[in-house]
Amino acid sequence: MNVQAPAVFLRCFFGLTDPRRHNVRHLFTDLLAIAILAVMCRSDDWNEVVLYGIANREWLGTFLELPNGIPCEDTFSRLFARINPDAFEKCFIEWTRSLASSSDGRLVAIDGKTLRHSFKHGWNKQMIHLVSAWCGQNELVLGQLAVDGKSNEITAIPKLLELLDLKKAVVTIDAMGCQKEIAAQIQLQKGDYLLAVKDNQKTLHEKVGVLMNDIALDQVKGLNSDQYDYHEKTETGHGRIETRRVWVAANVEDLGGELLSQWPGLNSLIMVEDQRQDLGDPDGKVTVERRVFISSLQNPSAEQAGRYIRGHWGIENQLHWRLDMCYGEDDCRIRKDHGAENFSRLRRIAMNKLKSDPKKLSLKCKRYKCSLDREYLLQMLQQ
């Protein structure tokens, strides 16, 4: 058993500064190691972290110093409430760069999530909102930053992008991030953008909608097929029949010079139509929804664009949902200062480590296995 694996892994976080005074009873690296190991082994709050430490005191002592035994709950709480979250994030991102492959065209999805029980007082329920970057290809969290509220995602997204390697990546963001400055930054960092367009960019939304609806009409009539690409796919499942249609056009000059000049690198317009029929509906009702997007990608196929748009929601299904279901993030009541944000980062460290295991087990089962099998836990740290 390689008990040095935790020490090797923790080197990624050696640049993190201990915010406490010098007269401390417990080593910073010991606290950090116990917290990470405990979260990997099903601990979801500081009380459970301490219980994990006490139960594994003898084993932890084989690679940690533990000069005064296992720290108490208040010690963990005070430390992680004071750790600089931006510094912690930089260490986290440096580590994830060593995990994520940087192939051309990799999808980087940006989206926000609220920690629903992170408010400090019942009379002031201001919750922490996190903006995360998710790599769909590797199924890894690339980074996260906290904002004061969902309306401030516009200011947080550029800060998060600055920390990421976007070279030859495709960045997808929902309508909240459809901003000229964000598009320009992605281009500056040598990446491509694919942005959802809604009424927060009213003129652009109306113009793109008209152009793409005309193209969809031409496609039905079999006209002007050389001016766009089209892809259609039908799937049956979950009690419904769903047909997705995607149109991609490169006639961005039809937006007009003034509008086009405001969006750096804009090369293609995209429209997606979702048609759904509920098999359990006796009336056979069919619902149709159309959404439009802009992108800096040059001549993407409709099939490729559809994969990127659908892949964006992996951040909801594969990250946010798992954090709630497997880690109980929404139920966590850690609230003191930076404590909620930093504990959330511990969850993402654990998730990235456990996702590196190719075995077909759920995250919940992998956490349980870590708590039972130390050899498996150390294998995950070495991945």
Asked if pLDDT for residue 121 goes beyond 90, the answer is no
When pLDDT is averaged across residues 248-253 and rounded to a whole number, the result is 94
Nearest to 19 by CA among 333, 346, 342: 342
pTM value is: 0.86
Give residue for tokens 């200011």.
155
Q: What is the pLDDT, as a whole number, of residue 280? A: 76
* Chain segment 62-100, per-residue pLDDT in tens: 889 999 999 999 999 999 999 999 899 888 888 887 666
256-304 pLDDT, tens digit per residue, is 989 999 999 999 999 999 999 888 777 778 899 999 999 999 999 999 9
Give start and end residues of each alpha helix (H) in 276-373: 302-312, 314, 321-327, 339-355, 363-372
Per residue in 327-370, pLDDT (tens digit) is 877 777 776 778 888 999 999 999 988 988 888 888 899 999 99
Name the DSSP class of 319. Answer: I
Confidence of residue 123 (pLDDT cuts 50, 70, 90): very low
- For 335, what's the count of Cα atoms within 13 Å in the CB-facing half-sphere? 13
Backbone angles phi, psi at 241, to 5 degrees: -105, 125
Picking from 207, 313, 302, 317, the residue whose alpha carbon sits closest to that of residue 245 is 302
- Report the mean per-residue pLDDT for the chain: 87
Helix (H) or strand (E) holding 329: none
Helix (H) or strand (E) run with residue 105 in it = none
The closest alpha carbon to 320, from 144, 173, 70, belongs to: 144
Q: Where are the domains of the chain?
A: 5-83+360-382, 100-315
